[in-house]
Copies of this chain bind each other. A is one copy, B any other.
Amino acid sequence: MNFKIDKRLFNGILNTVSKAISSSAPIPALSGVKISVSEEEVTFIGSDSNISIKVVKKPSEDLIIVEEGEIVIDIKYISEIVRKMDSDIINVELIDGTLCRISGNNSEFKINGMRPSDYPNINFDHNTDSFKIKTSKLINMVQRTIFACSDQQVRQVLTGLNLKLNNQVLVASGTDSYRLSAVKSVLNSDLSFNITIPSKLLSETCNIISEKEEVEIFVSDTKVFFKTEDTLILTRLIEDAFPNTDHLLNVETSQRLEISGKELQDAVDRTLFIKSDGRSVVKLKIDADSVEVTSSSQEIGSSHEKLSIIKYEGEPLVISCSGKYLSDAIKALRSENIVMLFRGSTKPIIIKADNGEDIIEYISPVRSYD
């Protein structure tokens, strides 16, 4: 194996594949990047067995293939070398068994690699149906829903973000069963699927593709591929059924509040430090004139703030919920004014943007005694 590569190109590739490589890899070989050189291309693979990334580069003026071959090199070492090398061109050459020579200018490193046969076989075949989506659109949908996913492993499916495509409408939903955030978006594809992607892997994927214009997504029952130009990202899916939340969409509500999102969020944020048993609960006392935002904890103390409103319809209401959940939900709406819908003090709060965007937030109320 022998190739010459532009330092910046190499650095970028290693940076990409390293995102799939865990510092506590279950198999030693997975702490490395697998580099495979054929006559036609050089392939770089990183994986932690949950997410796998493959970058394929054809020869160019930045990449000259000299000799075929394969090696696995610890990502820490090769990244460190390439990052600090003061040469524009870096030569990578297998010199003896798994000993790899990395050189440029006056510096030369001989690094002990690992055998390619010790690297797990990862199937990157993606012959399923696919659709294309602007990465900015996908990332927008993910960012505004992923925060609602659970971080508890008790119900594993809730640690994933659900993506559902049907009748050319793509819906992203995250829920931990106490709150839900869902965004809809029209998508020009006749595909139909319902998949749940582990939220950490999806968020890593969004990081990797964020600088590309468009991503092509290949969906199967057990895995999903994200493809941009020369990079292919494979992540596993959560196969358990995601809870159906359609019934939440068409409920009669009895109270409707219009209020400045920023003012309510700021007021709620100010109370977040007032915790009881590690949780911050905020109480809203709503009538035709104002909203009183209060919170209290025996240990820490209490807060009180009165906000003006834009409009309120319905009977006066007192309702409590997690302050953090309310703040997160308003942040996700990204709307100057928001609409809050209620069905009394014991049923979920529904919050929508009033700027026409198809995003909806649900928060379960909590009981508060005082």
A301 within 8 A of B: yes
A253 to chain B, nearest CB (A): 27
Q: Is the CB of B269 within 8 A of A112?
A: no
- Contacting A270 at CB < 8 Å: which of B84, B99, B111, B302? B84
CB-nearest residue of chain B relative to A99? B301
- Contacting A107 at CB < 8 Å: which of B85, B86, B111, B270? B270
List chain B residues, Cβ under 8 A from A305.
Answer: 106-108
Stretch in A73-81, A180-188, A243-251 with 4+ CB within 8 Å of B = A73-81
**In the complex, A15→B85 CA distance in Å?**
41
Q: Is the CB of A303 within 8 A of B273?
A: no
Q: Is the CB of B110 within 8 A of A266?
A: no
Residue-wise, chain A 263-292 has the 8 Å CB interface mask toward B (1 for contact) of 000110110110000000000000000000
* Residues of A within 8 A of B (CB-CB), count: 32
CB-nearest residue of chain B relative to A306? B106
Q: How many copies does the complex hold?
A: 2
- Contacting A111 at CB < 8 Å: which of B74, B100, B300? B300
Q: Is the CB of B273 within 8 A of A76?
A: yes
A299 within 8 A of B: yes
**In the complex, A76→B300 CA distance in Å?**
11
Q: Is the CB of B84 within 8 A of A301?
A: no
Q: Is the CB of A300 within 8 A of B77?
A: yes
Q: Is the CB of B80 within 8 A of A273?
A: yes
A76 to chain B, nearest CB (A): 7
A304 within 8 A of B: yes
**In the complex, A300→B303 CA distance in Å?**
58
Q: Is the CB of A266 within 8 A of B301?
A: no
A122 within 8 A of B: no
Q: Is the CB of A112 within 8 A of B301?
A: yes
Q: Is the CB of B77 within 8 A of A109?
A: no
Other A-B contacts than A106-B306, A109-B303, A112-B301, 18 sampled, CB-CB below 8 A, are: A74-B300, A77-B273, A77-B301, A80-B270, A81-B270, A84-B269, A86-B266, A106-B305, A106-B307, A107-B304, A107-B305, A108-B304, A109-B301, A109-B302, A110-B302, A110-B303, A111-B300, A112-B299
Residues on A lying within 8 angstroms of B by beta carbon are 74, 76-77, 80-81, 84-86, 99-100, 106-112, 266-267, 269-270, 272-273, 299-307
Q: What are 7 contact pairs spanning A and B, CB under 8 A? A: A81-B273, A84-B266, A106-B307, A107-B303, A108-B304, A110-B303, A112-B299
